[in-house]
Amino acid sequence: MDGTFTLEFARSADSLYALAASPDFARDGLCFAACRSGLYRSQDGGASWRLLRASSEPVTTALALSPAFADDRSIFAAVKGGVLRSSDAGDNWFTAGFPAPPPVFSSLLASPDFERDGFILAATLEDGVFSSTDRGLRWQPWNFGLFDLAALSLAMSPAWTVDETVYVGTETGLYQSANGGRAWRHSGFSSELAPVLCLATATSQAGGDMKIFAGTETQGLHLSCDGGESWERLAADAMPDAVNQLHLAQDEGGAASLYALTNDGVMQSDDEGRSWRQIIRVDGAATAMLPLCGVIFLGIQGKGVMRLPRN
């Protein structure tokens, strides 16, 4: 496995939980890494890193940046029992606490229209989904109809500003909401395929319809083209078991590629998930992936963050 380790862990037992980057990464080079040892920031495209917050407990487990980060500089970091918010790219932090017992967060997701609506969701491992409509200052549980509170992953419709559709993957299946998470219903995703570890949505280049991708713990990758009512399995031979993360990324020309993090490495599809090729094979456990313009960051258990060229 060729590449450059840009952030090496101080302790071999350290782990990386999440990666995030500025929407304008190609220009500003800002990216963030949430590790067991703390929260790090790079301002030079991952060449060097600065520790922003040291942590033994609580550990940062999820990150999210505002889509309007270039203007509002807002970043969110989930720790056990609360969500940290910064409005200056991580120099200063404010904590929004949650009622006891403290929830453990699995995912954070800001609205594509965050600059206007200030809306952000948080998924937790035992307490379902929380939402904030005031840019992370106050949070409330939104679990009506969500019968499985072990929430593992989140995704919003590409047409969020119109349809307010959001999805949450759980230990037992996949739920969807047509009113921004205020009420949930079970989708057509079979519970036999769960848990749903990761989700991604994209607009089909052919017809403009939404595609939903769901990565599972033991049953590979699945696709729905009808809003989650019916599903088909993709690339069963290439991804026979766990799909741990999904990311949609565009190149400089605007063409979109879908990336999947498996137990063996990173897979890439350039045709909306129909065919896949392995672009990175890992020696060890890969815990997080972030494809960006011209580069892929990959977290390796006990080693750090690798920066590799993106094809």
pLDDT of residue 205: 73
Dihedral pair phi/psi, residue 238, rounded to 5°:
-75, -30
Asked if 100 and 56 touch (Cβ cutoff 8 Å), the reply is: no
Query: Tell me, what's the pLDDT at 5?
Result: 77
Residue of 163, 146, 151, 94 lying closest to 125 (CA atoms): 151
> What pLDDT is attached to residue 310?
77
pLDDT value at residue 35: 86
pLDDT at residue number 122: 97
Q: Are 90 and 32 in contact (CB under 8 A)?
A: yes
Residue 110, phi then psi, degrees to nearest 5: -90, 145
Closest to 169 (Cα-Cα) out of 140, 183, 139, 148:
148
Q: How far apart are CA 248 and CA 292, in angstroms?
A: 9
- Residue 49 tokens read as 């890193």
pLDDT tens digits for range 139-182:
999 999 999 999 999 999 999 999 999 999 999 999 999 999 99
- Omega into 99 within 30° of 0, i.e. cis? no
As a dihedral over the C-alpha atoms of residue 125, residue 129, residue 134, residue 137, rounded to 10 degrees, the angle is -30
pLDDT digits (tens, 9 = 90+) for 76-116: 999 888 999 999 999 999 999 888 888 999 999 999 999 99
Rounded percentage of the chain residues whose pLDDT exceeds 90 = 74
Whole-prediction pTM: 0.94
pLDDT attached to residue 53:
83
pLDDT at 2: 55
Provide the β-strand partners of residue 296: 291, 308
Which pLDDT score is estimated for 140?
94
Give the single-character DSSP code of 99: P
Q: For residue 167, is it left (φ>0), alpha (ψ between -120 and 50) or beta?
A: beta
3-state secondary structure (DSSP) of residue 43? coil
The amino acid at residue 227 is G
With a cut of 50, which residues of the chain have pLDDT below it? none
Provide the CB-side half-sphere exposure for 30 (13 A, CA): 15
User: Residue 69 — φ and ψ, nearest 5°?
Assistant: -55, -35
Runs of H (alpha helix) within 22-167: 25-28, 69-72, 114-117, 160-163
Query: What is 4-309's CATH superfamily?
Result: YVTN repeat-like/Quinoprotein amine dehydrogenase (2.130.10.10)
CA pair distance 78, 124, nearest whole angstrom: 10
